[in-house]
Amino acid sequence: MSNEKKSIGKLLLGKWDTKTIVGTAIGAALFAVLMNFGGIRVFTNTNLSSAMIVVAVVAGLFGPLPAALSAGLGNVLADLIGGWGFWFDWSIGNFVMGFFVGLLPLYGARIEDGIFEVKHIIGYVICVVLGNLIGFGVVTPIMTYLFYSHELTITWAQAFTALVSNAIVLIVVGVPVLILLAKRNAKKTNLSAEN
Amino acid sequence: MDLSKRLFINIIPGNTFLDKLTGKTKVRMFLALIVLLIATWDIRIVVPVLVLGIVGLVSIKPNWRLIAGLMGFVALMNLFNLFLIWIVSPDYGDEIVGGSTLLFQFTARYSLSAETLWLFMVRFVKFISSFLVSLVFIQSITPSEMAAGLYAIKVPYKVATMVSIAFRYIPEISRDFSDIKISMQARGMELDPKKTTLIERLKQNVVILVPLIIVSFDRVSNIANAMDLRGYGRGKTRTYYSEHEETPNDRKMKVFYILVALAAVAVIAGRVFFPAQHEVWAPWI
């Protein structure tokens, strides 16, 4: 398939064509809907959220920036229809987390070409944990402090549950979904590229 | 509550005062109000916004039966959230409002002070008004007006398109979601949270999710092809068919949203440069 070397910057940005835009948009819509109706409540405004799987899927199909935008935008839209107020600190946290989850191509996993092996799974798990730690353990509390100041105590409790539950969903459900996606794509490419 | 009804959006612009404004005005007005609402914890600012939200809601002549159900749901959810916060930190409001006037003592740990109650009240009113503002916004804007409005505040047009497509497909996807859920129930899946364990429910979520994700992403290539065929993404800039000339009402509302934005800036600047001793104002302190 694509044998040409891509620079890291290009990998992070992803292919920015119409399909990516629509895919990211649909991902954001799915994220918003699932955040509202597809979760199992753990703590106030924090769910064992199936929305996270959407992030993994968008990450696998389109790359880091689309995954980040899907998660961030999806969270804003979820706030818009949810009625629990607007929490841009969390949207930004989700954005960062989505970016980390989407780093798949950086360590060689290419879902669209069916490449997703054990070392990629390990890379994915590390990225998920890192992304959740940085997104919800660092960025969200900082943003909460800047935007809402005294909500910080609650954010800590929420951030902890969100961190754990998101990581669980992303790993326990996300890995099989990504393997499935990779398998599905691998079947399509039984042709080898000619040089 | 029926999801697809709850997430009703307009695709054709209506004919009330707010509907007839340009997308630019709607988006800016919404952003100004939301930023103001996020920035402030002062009931003297929140209540006027609440009144504005109610006026806006009345002016767009919504389906009241639907709105009543929705408001009830949101109010209950917010009350429940407040209850959970109280469970975690019963003296939540004391430091923030500044004072501890005991009202009720339940156990050694669980008491309710007037300050906490006041803070919860402010929080409740704040979230209800922010929900009202977003409800009026959703009900009075169409997806392409939203894209036009975002583009007018210098959001890159590809991101603006993204937002409008996502907004457009939320009702569709939630309809699919409830369809899949119902058909899974018809096949004998137990969805009652009382009768299933956590692991079981997680599994069910996945079972519902897989078809939903496949159905949703199947759409992507259809939509993308349709857009490509119409030459989407060729130019560096974009104009919007839905965006009409500014009407006199738009110019009037411009004054209004600039005032709201200034108020928001003033509130934020006030909090940054002159932090009050206690963050939330209460009449008796």
In this predicted model, what pLDDT tens digit does every residue of B48-93 receive, in sequence order? 999 999 999 999 888 888 788 888 888 888 888 888 788 877 777 7
Orientation angle between helical segments A51-62 and A18-37, nearest 10 degrees: 170
User: Cβ contacts (< 8 Å) between A54 and chain B: which residues?
Assistant: 213
Q: How many CB atoms lie within 10 A of CB A108?
A: 12
Residue B8 lies in a domain: no
On whether both B232 and B94 belong to a single domain, the answer is no
User: Cβ contacts (< 8 Å) between A153 and chain B: which residues?
Assistant: 89, 92
Check A29 against B201: CB less than 8 A apart.
no
User: Cβ contacts (< 8 Å) between B208 and chain A: which residues?
Assistant: 38
Task: Tell me the average pLDDT across B118-123.
Answer: 88
The DSSP symbol for B104 reads E
Residue B195 lies in a domain: yes
Size of interface A-B (CB pairs under 8 A): 162
On whether both B135 and B252 belong to a single domain, the answer is yes
| A158, closest residue in chain B (CA to CA) | B85
Residue B10 lies in a domain: no
Phi, psi angles (nearest 5°) of residue B282 = -130, 145
The B residues from 193 to 222 touching A (CB cutoff 8 Å) are 198, 201-202, 205-206, 208-210, 212-213, 216-217, 219-221
Q: Can you tell me the ipTM of this complex?
A: 0.84
On whether both B234 and B271 belong to a single domain, the answer is no
Q: Nearest Cα to A173, choosing from A23, A38, A21? A: A38
* Whole-prediction pTM: 0.85
| B212, closest residue in chain A (CA to CA) | A30
User: Cβ contacts (< 8 Å) between B80 and chain A: which residues?
Assistant: 44
Contact B36, B260 (CB under 8 A): yes
Check B217 against A61: CB less than 8 A apart.
yes
CA distance A20 to A167: 25
Does A28 have pLDDT greater than 90?
yes
Does A3 have pLDDT greater than 60?
no
Check A85 against B131: CB less than 8 A apart.
yes
Residue B40 lies in a domain: yes
How many folded domains does chain B comprise?
Answer: 2
Check A21 against B78: CB less than 8 A apart.
no
Distances (CA, A) of A15 to A11, A20, A33, A53, A62: 8, 7, 26, 21, 8
Structure tokens at B22: 């340009």
Confidence of residue A2 (pLDDT cuts 50, 70, 90): very low
Does A83 have pLDDT greater than 80?
no
Check B206 against A157: CB less than 8 A apart.
no
Task: Tell me the average pLDDT across B179-204.
Answer: 78
On whether both B148 and B232 belong to a single domain, the answer is yes
On whether both B130 and B252 belong to a single domain, the answer is yes
Domain of residue B211 covers 143-241
On whether both B54 and B186 belong to a single domain, the answer is no
Residue B137 lies in a domain: yes
On whether both B138 and B269 belong to a single domain, the answer is yes
Share of chain A above pLDDT 70, in %: 78
Does B1 have pLDDT greater than 50?
no
Which domains, and CATH codes, for chain A?
10-186 (1.10.1760.20)
Check B159 against A149: CB less than 8 A apart.
no
Cross-strand partners of B113: B102
On whether both B150 and B268 belong to a single domain, the answer is no
User: Cβ contacts (< 8 Å) between B168 and chain A: which residues?
Assistant: 29
Does B140 have pLDDT greater than 70?
yes
